[in-house]
Amino acid sequence: VQLQASGGGLVPAGGSLQLSCVASGGRLRIIYNAMGWYRQAPGKERELVADITYGGAANYADSVKGRFTISRDSAKKMVYLQMNNLEPEDTAVYYCNLGDTQSTTVTGGIWGQGTLVTVSS
């Protein structure tokens, strides 16, 4: 299975971006796995941003609640992250993750290559 993330870029504070990630390869059953987004800022550890199960249950980091929305199109093996009201603290490389049927974890699953989000102040 391979994950391809896209949609990063440079945006001013208060702006919006939408990230997309598509999974390719693997067996059909991967559509039942949780998918998520993590990020890693310079000098910091990778952290969960949001993840979502096949059934649509979403989990968000406190720092992004109310500003970011995760969604998925399981038939297309895609997951999205709509990011609104971006802040300079959101600047990081964002990674797509494919977890198990229950959740994603920072230490496991399959990772995409990352897409850079830079928020200017």
The model's pLDDT over 77-120, given as tens digits with 9 standing for 90+, comes to: 999 999 999 999 999 999 999 999 888 988 889 999 999 999 99
90 vs 28, residue with greater confidence: 90
Cα(16)–Cα(10) distance, integer angstroms: 10
pLDDT (0 to 100) of residue 30: 85
Question: Could you read off the pLDDT of 49-86 as tens digits, one per residue?
Answer: 999 999 999 999 999 999 999 999 999 999 999 999 99
Percent above pLDDT 90 for the chain: 88
Q: How confident is the model at residue 12 (pLDDT cuts 50, 70, 90)?
A: very high
pLDDT (0 to 100) of residue 28: 75
Residue 32 in this model has a pLDDT that exceeds 80: yes
| CB 36 within 8 Å of CB 21 | no
Chain centre to alpha carbon of residue 58: 12
Q: How confident is the model at residue 27 (pLDDT cuts 50, 70, 90)?
A: confident
* 120 phi-psi bin (left φ>0, alpha ψ -120 to 50, beta other): beta
**Helix, strand, coil distribution of the chain in percent, nearest 5:** 10, 50, 40
Mean pLDDT, the chain, rounded, equals 95
User: If we measure between CA atoms, which residue out of 46, 44, 36 comes closest to residue 68?
Assistant: 36
Q: How confident is the model at residue 15 (pLDDT cuts 50, 70, 90)?
A: very high
C-alpha torsion sign, points 70, 92, 67, 106:
positive
3-state secondary structure of 89: helix
